[in-house]
Amino acid sequence: MQDNLKDISEKINLEDISVKFNEYIRILKLAKRPKRDEFFKISKIAGAAMALIGFIGFSIYLLMTVLPKGF
C-alpha cells in the first residue's frame, strides 16, 4: 500500500499541475461571452439536433416493439 502511494506521489509533479493550471487560465481569458443572437442561434440548433436524435430513437423503439408483434 505504501509503495503504491509512493509511486503515485512520484508521478504527480507539482510543476506539471501548475503548468496545466496556467494553460487553463490562459484559455479562459481568451474566451468571450456570446452575444444574445449568437446564443439563441446556438440554442435553436442544439434543440433541433436533440429533437432529431429523440425522433430517431423513438422511431427505432417503435420498430423494435411493433414489428415483432406483427409477425
pLDDT 10s digits, 16-62: 788 888 999 999 999 889 999 999 999 999 999 999 999 999 999 99
Residues 34 and 42: beta-carbon distance below 8 Å: yes
Answer whether residue 8 shows pLDDT above 80.
no
- Higher-confidence residue: 30 or 13? 30
What is the model's pLDDT at position 25? 93
What is the model's pLDDT at position 9? 63
Cα(53)–Cα(45) distance, integer angstroms:
12
| Residue 68 pLDDT grade (very low, low, confident, very high; cuts 50, 70, 90) | confident
Determine the longest span between alpha carbons in the chain, in angstroms. 65
CA dist 54 to 46, 61, 66, 67, Å?
Answer: 12, 10, 18, 20
Cα(48)–Cα(55) distance, integer angstroms:
10
